[in-house]
Amino acid sequence: MATPNVKRKRLVEKSLPPAIETYIPESRLFMQLQALERRLDTKIVRKRLEVQEALGKPVYKKRILRIFVSNLAANQTGAVGLDDMDEGRLGAAEAPSWTLRIEGRLLDPTGAATKTRTASHKFSEFVNSMVVELDRDPDLYSDNVVQWRRAAAEGDVDGFEVKRRGDEDVKAKI
């Protein structure tokens, strides 16, 4: 039993030798039927494409979504220089913090020119939800799980940022 998602493979069309026509007069009808079938197949494909364009359904292509994960540390204790050691400047310094950034970009197909590229899509168009779990002490930090879910009224964004205070290494699970 064949699965419904498998496309039907077309058998190789057989053309009859002209000498057969003398023995079997109906062979001409068979050749005409094959020609009619080829024309009908091309018309069906053309109409299917016209209907897809009219309904606004895009023709899907398999592409690669590249995801970039980066972090940025700010005001860390090792970053303070010797000339910043006086009390006036140290008191005005902000608390140490770090930012985790998750971005995504749809790669251009190989061989496509950048001038003919279609409008770029935002990263949030490709994900319905995002969960970031931080491996930190739950007694000291209460916000160890960050969740984002797509909302209908929310606009699409290029990436997600998680900003937290601290100067220790933190394992994150995305």
Task: Answer whether residue 104 shows pLDDT above 80.
Answer: yes
pLDDT digits 0-9 by tens, 112-137: 555 544 557 788 888 888 999 988 88
pLDDT digits 0-9 by tens, 22-38: 888 888 888 888 889 99
pLDDT digits 0-9 by tens, 66-75: 999 999 888 8
Averaged pLDDT of the chain:
78
What is the per-residue pLDDT for 68?
Answer: 92
Q: Whose CA is closest to 106, among 53, 152, 49, 60?
A: 60
What is the per-residue pLDDT for 44?
Answer: 95
30 Cβ neighbours under 8 A, 6+ residues apart:
16
